[in-house]
């Protein structure tokens, strides 16, 4: 771990194993602002005009990876994260980022980041603690803001045939739906950025088109983003039987001209005073920069393990 300057911020922590590096700024946040293979481009978007800033009166997107409180509203979700962050080194390749508590909404945020001894694997543990005096309903929501110019691959469950008649069905599951998608008002099925294929959904980032968003109850455990920095893979879980935000989704994706967001959510919980909820993501980058969705599904992600 070392302290470095980064794009106008004087206080940032960098951890590297020689194969990959991660930078978190300590002047605002908690915010992981850069993640990349050594010598390659940052997979995350950085907003040039917001780099180096702090103390603004309004919430700033900035880019990188952040922790939010869901479900989305215009108050608690957009609580300011423009002040300094405390950093604790837990081990040579593990840090804990902890801003001052948000006394307005009674939430303490925390992110633990661990980089593997070699390769690019990183584990990101997000925590929300209720520091208020009453229980509150929330879901942890972690958001990676990806750089322009790539495309996202969202794998879909394997198809299965219609049973044909009740006598051919082995159980009620043969007639049941196995996928759930939520749609935002600004989504359009005719939007050419979307491709709904048999085995995947593909979403292309386009700097000339406006907002679009969907959510999924995503049980396959990963999504990928293919771009010039490599293929970023995010892994996460779906907990059966739990209630999720936005009508039941643990994964959401949003794009507009400047970036594409890969968003994952934990289940909704009633968090008692003093209680903490955790949400875990696992990241990895393949050095490949040019791959079809089929190759991402069949070759690249299985190789990453």
> What pLDDT is attached to residue 54?
97
* Per-residue tokens: 114: 């661990």
Residues 12, 3 contacting (CB under 8 angstroms): yes
> What pLDDT is attached to residue 286?
98
> What pLDDT is attached to residue 29?
97
How many residues in the chain? 305
Q: Please, which residues have CB within 8 angstroms of residue 63's CB and are 6 or more apart in sequence?
A: 33, 44, 45, 46, 47, 50, 145, 259
* Per-residue tokens: 86: 């405390």
> What pLDDT is attached to residue 165?
78
Per-residue pLDDT of the chain (305 residues; tens, 9 = 90+): 899 999 999 999 999 999 999 999 999 999 999 999 999 999 999 999 999 999 999 999 999 999 999 999 999 999 999 999 999 999 999 999 999 999 999 999 999 999 999 999 999 999 999 999 999 999 999 999 999 999 999 999 999 888 877 777 777 777 789 999 999 999 999 999 999 999 999 999 999 999 999 999 999 999 999 999 999 999 999 999 999 999 999 999 999 999 999 999 999 999 999 999 999 999 999 999 999 999 999 999 999 97
Q: Count the domains in the chain.
A: 1
Domain residue limits at 18: 2-304
> What pLDDT is attached to residue 163?
80
In whole angstroms, what is the distance from residue 262 CA to residue 229 CA? 16
> What pLDDT is attached to residue 305?
76
pTM for this model (two decimals): 0.96
Residue 147 is part of a domain; what is its CATH number? 2.70.98.10
């Amino acid at each position: 771990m070392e302290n470095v300057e980064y794009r106008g911020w004087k206080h940032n922590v960098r951890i590297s194993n020689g194969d990959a590096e991660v930078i978190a700024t300590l002047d605002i946040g908690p915010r992981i602002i850069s993640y990349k293979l050594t010598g390659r481009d940052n997979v995350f978007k950085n907003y040039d005009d917001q780099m180096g800033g702090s103390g603004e009166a309004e919430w700033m997107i900035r880019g990188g990876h952040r922790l939010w409180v869901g479900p989305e509203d215009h108050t608690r979700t957009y609580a300011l994260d423009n002040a300094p962050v405390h950093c604790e080194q837990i081990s040579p390749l593990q840090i804990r980022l902890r801003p001052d508590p948000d006394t307005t909404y009674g939430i303490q945020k925390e992110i633990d980041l661990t980089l593997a001894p070699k390769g690019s694997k990183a584990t990101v543990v997000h925590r929300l603690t209720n520091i208020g005096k009453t229980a509150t309903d929330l879901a942890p929501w972690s958001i990676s803001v990806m750089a322009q110019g790539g495309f996202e691959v969202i794998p879909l469950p394997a198809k299965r045939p219609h049973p044909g008649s009740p006598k051919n069905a082995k159980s009620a599951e043969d007639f049941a739906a196995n996928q759930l998608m939520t749609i935002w008002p600004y989504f359009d099925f005719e939007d050419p950025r979307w491709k709904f294929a048999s085995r995947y959904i593909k979403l292309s980032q386009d700097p000339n088109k406006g907002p679009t968003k969907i959510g999924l109850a995503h049980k396959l455990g990963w999504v990928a983003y293919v771009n010039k920095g490599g293929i970023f893979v995010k892994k996460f879980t779906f907990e059966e039987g739990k209630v999720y935000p936005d009508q039941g989704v643990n994964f959401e994706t949003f794009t507009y001209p400047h970036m594409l967001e890969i968003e994952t959510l934990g289940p909704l919980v009633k968090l008692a005073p003093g209680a903490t909820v955790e949400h875990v993501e696992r990241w990895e980058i393949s050095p490949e920069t040019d791959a079809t969705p089929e190759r991402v599904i069949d070759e690249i992600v299985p190789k990453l393990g």
